[in-house]
Amino acid sequence: MILGLDVSTSIVGATLLDNDGKIVYCNAWDLRKYKDHFTKAEVVKNELCSTQFDDTVRVIIEKPVSSFFGTGGSSAKVITTLAKFNGIISWICRERFGFNPEFIVSTTARKHCGVKVPRGTKAKEFVLNFVAESVDDFVIEYTKFGNPKPGSFDKADSYIVAKAGFLGYREA
C-alpha cells in the first residue's frame, strides 16, 4: 500500500492506496487551531500511528516548494517554515514505518498522473476538479455556499502524490 502526504502547517492531506490503486483512506488533518509546530506534528504523529496504516509499504511526501519568490510566490520565511515542518513529518514517518519516505515535486506528481494544468489556471482548483471527476472513491464536501470545504484541495493533492507512486514514480 502507498501513503501519499501533502504536508502543510495548516492542513495535511493523506491518501492511502491499496495494491490495486484504490482509495483505502483519504482525509485531511486540520492543524489550524494548534499554535506551534510541535503540537501540530504530534497531531500528525497520532494520526499516522493508527492501525489503518499498518500495511503501508511506501510513503511519498510532496516536497515543499523551494523556489517560488516573486509575484504571487511565497516568502523565504514561509518556505523555510514549510521545509522545517516537512522535515519533522518526514522524520515521524521514518520512525513510524521503519523506512525513509520518498519525496516528489507536485508538478512531477501531476505529470505522472496525466494532469496537465492549463496556463493561467489555478493548479489547486484544477487538480481538485480532475480528481473529483476521474476518481470514483474521492468525496468532496461543500460549504453551504457551494465551495469545497477546507482540506478538499489537500486531499486531492495527497491522492495525486499517492497515485504517482502507484503508477511507478520512484525518487531518483
The pLDDT, as a whole number, for residue 48 is 93
The dihedral sign for the CA sequence 106, 74, 101, 15 = negative
What is the pLDDT tens value at each position of the chain, 172 positions in all? 999 999 999 999 999 999 999 999 999 999 999 999 999 999 999 999 987 888 888 999 999 875 454 445 567 777 888 889 999 999 999 999 999 999 999 999 999 999 999 998 898 999 999 999 999 889 888 999 999 999 999 999 999 999 999 998 777 6
Q: Using the structure block, give the residue that is written with the C-alpha cell 511526501.
A: 61
User: How is domain 2-166 classified at the architecture level of CATH?
Assistant: 2-Layer Sandwich (3.30)
The dihedral sign for the CA sequence 104, 48, 54, 14 = negative
Is 148 strand, coil or helix? strand
> Among the residues of the chain, which ranges form H helices?
37-48, 76-97, 106-112, 123-134, 152-166
Reported pTM:
0.90
How many CB atoms sit inside 10 A of residue 107's CB?
12
CA distance 157 to 4: 9
All cell numbers assigned to 113: 498522473
The pLDDT, as a whole number, for residue 28 is 96
The pLDDT, as a whole number, for residue 66 is 52
